[in-house]
Every structure is written in C-alpha cells, then in structure tokens.
Amino acid sequence: MRNPLHLPKEMYDWVVPEPQERWRRSGMTGEVTVKQDADGHDVNVPLFNVGINSCEPLGSREFGPKQNRLGRVHVDLYHLKDGMSRLTQTWIPYDVQAEFTGTSGMAFTTMVEGYDQDRAEMMATVGIPNIQISAEQGDMHWPSLRDIKRLGQTALHAPKISIAKSSQAEIEIIAHLVSSEKYDLPRLIEAHGDSRGSMTSFGRAVYGGLTLGDVDNTPMYDLIPLWIDPKAVVIHDRLPADKLHKVITWLIHEALVGPQVIADLAIQRKLLSLRGTASLNPNFLFASAIGTAPALLSGEAGELTGMLPNDIRGFANGYQRDELFDQENWENAIRPLPNLYLNEVDKAVHAHLLSMRGLLRQMGRLERLAQESREHGENLAAYNVHHISGRTAEQFALQKSFDLQEAA
C-alpha cells in the first residue's frame, strides 16, 4: 500500500534510511562502546571524521547597555573535514558567574542570530558563558558570488549529514573553543537547543563524554557533560513511509497556530527576536532540505538518547499538541534515566519553542545550575537535580514509577 503522499516506499526508505544506514552513508569511521543496555548488549556510538580544517575569526563586539557593557561576543567561522562550514558565536561575560559553558544547537532552518541569540545574550547577562553553533552551512544570511560557487560542494556533502555526525562536529568545535587560551572557558558543558537543536543536545552529551577507552578513561575531548536542557523534542524513532502524512498535517497545524505565538511575542515586545532567525542563503537552504530534513526523520534522536550516560542530568520539554512529539517513546526512553526529567507541556505546539514563558523558565533552571556549579564544580554527584529542574523528588519518582510497577 502506497503512503498518503504517493511517494514510493522504496524511494522513501532510500531517502530516510534507518539510523545505522544513515551513519554509514555519512562516512562513519568507527565506533566506541559506551555502556550496556538493559539486555546486556553493548551500546556503540558512531564516530566520524569531522575534525577542524581551519577556524576563521570574524570579529567581536561588546554586548549589554551602552552605559554598562557586560561582556564580549566573538564570531568564528569553522571549516570542517566533512566539507561543511559552521558559524559560532561565543558569549563571554566580564563577570562570569558559572563554572560551566552553555552550548546551543540551532533549530531546523534557523541561524545563530535571531531568537537563539536573544537567549544566548540573556545567559551571558546573568554571567553564563555560552557557545552558539550553526547547523551545516549556516554561516551567511545572504549569498555572495562565493556562495553560489560552492553550491556544488553543498550538493555533494549535504546528503551525508546526520544528527550524530552533526553532534560530534559541534563537540569538536566546542572543545576547540574551550581549550583556546583566547577564551579560557570551563570544560563542564551544558547542552540546550530547540527542535533539531534538541536532538544535537542529546548528541553533545553523548560525544562530550566519550573517552579513549584506555586504562585511565582519558576524555576524548577533555569535556565533561554537566546538564542537558532541550526544548521541543520531536521524532524519537524513524518515521515510516506510511506515516509521512503526519509531517503535512503537522505543518498545517503549526501554520494555523503560529500567528498566535507571533502575536504573543508582539504583545511582549519581543517580535524583534525573530529578526535574523531565517536565512535566504541557498547553501544553507540546500543543506537543510536534502541533508538535515531526512536526518530528522531517521530516528537518530532515539538512538542518541539510548547512548546517554546513565547518570546524565537534565530537563527535557515535549509539547503535547506538537504532532511530531512521539510522547510514548520519549517517556519510555527517559524513564530509566534517574536524573533526567521529561516535562510534557499541555496546550503547546512546536511553535511555542519561541515562547517567552518557556524561555524564562529555562533561564531559571540555568541560573540555579550556575549557583550549583559555583558550589560543587566538577563534583557532579553533589548537584541537586531536583532544585535545578524545579521538580520535587516525588515528581521524579512518579515519572519513573512504571519501572517499579513492572518489577513488582
């Protein structure tokens, strides 16, 4: 039986393969075992050749009120071995109030400027240094002659994009920035992001914690994942061909509700947050359409969640009216992780990732995380996860209680 969009199943399966096949096409060079699952099977993380070819500093500027500048933001353009370019903005407060570095991955088709930059500046304003990393080819808003010329390279490399590969690339860049004497950032990292960026948040926690597998468990990147805080988590398992119509109904639903979210931003005088969020650069649009979009449907988020360290700490948001929020599978995936809370927001659609209400609550968590980091540093076991998340121990226990019932 053909799917409702009349796309042949064979074609869909080729464009949107299983995660392992996508990793193979993305140029997987090896894998490393990180833990065992509940059945005693090894859990392996794929590795890719996403090292840094070059880093091009593009300048810096101060941020904050003119009368009281609060820090500097540095802009760098990274060219990676996978043929892709990634733009970063590194926000460093003059008065650092956190012993960790925040890291942000971008939502689908969005840039480091716009609403994500507003969050980055808010974090820096309260003393949290943080790094924004664009998606593949998300470096320029407007095309130049050079951008037109590199369309061929984008067409060649974009089909090899995967969420896992993108996550490892983000960690390569983060490690480079953290270790730079120019920036001198904490090696404890927090990972947040929305939609696509929520998926790479899980990935940054996975790749940031990898070791070389030697006797001393030497860190592969000299980073320590501290906390994850993704919003608008969506597809957990691979979307099969006969469910592709859900994407169309999701787009229609979001288009109908989106203006309400925009109106709310206007009332809150935050409409300018959207300025610079989108890009008309054909390289970015091309990479998003033929690389990132199929990767989002391939089910890598579920695979990456299964690779997380068992003691990972954090708070993940799923929106119950978001038709691509795979609620049951997310509940099952997060339930075994004792320090990770899944917050299911009712009456919220995907577009609510722009909501100031959700952002302010997230900022509250990050400020409490900063307080804990000043007190406990790299002593991860001492962090009060319930206090940071704003959830009681009883609420955590209730969310994990199904395991206890099944065991009984």
Q: Are strands 71-80 and 52-63 parallel, antiparallel or unpaired?
A: antiparallel
pLDDT at 408: 33
CATH number of 9-407: 3.40.50.1820
Helix (H, G, I), strand (E, B) or coil at 46: strand
Cβ–Cβ under 8 Å, residues 5 and 242: no
pLDDT at 327: 94
Q: What is the DSSP string of 149-211?
A: HTHHHHHHHGGG--HHHHHHHHHHHHHHHHH-TTT---SEEEEEEETHHHHHHHHHHHHHT-B
Cβ–Cβ under 8 Å, residues 301 and 167: no
Selection from 39, 37, 45, 25 nearest residue 171 by Cα = 45
Residue 85 CB-density burial (10 A; 0-12 exposed, 13-18 middle, 19+ buried) = buried
pLDDT at 1: 43
Each residue's pLDDT, cut to its tens digit, for the chain (408 residues) gives: 444 455 688 899 999 999 999 999 999 999 999 999 888 999 999 999 999 999 999 999 999 999 999 999 999 999 999 999 999 999 999 999 999 999 999 999 999 999 999 999 999 999 999 999 999 999 888 777 777 788 888 999 999 999 999 999 999 999 999 999 999 999 999 999 999 999 999 999 999 999 987 777 888 999 999 999 999 999 999 999 989 888 988 888 888 887 888 888 787 777 777 888 988 889 999 999 999 999 999 999 999 999 999 999 999 999 999 999 999 999 999 999 999 999 999 989 998 898 888 999 999 999 999 999 999 999 999 999 999 999 999 999 999 875 444 433
Global pTM value: 0.94
Report which DSSP code applies to 211: B
Task: Find tokens 């006969």 and name the residue.
Answer: 242
pLDDT at 142: 76
What does the pLDDT look like over 259-277, one tens digit per residue?
A: 888 888 787 777 777 888 9
pLDDT at 218: 86
pLDDT at 402: 52
Q: Where are the chain's structural domains?
A: 9-407
Task: Give the separation between CA 325 and CA 230, rounded to whole angstroms.
Answer: 13
pLDDT at 278: 86
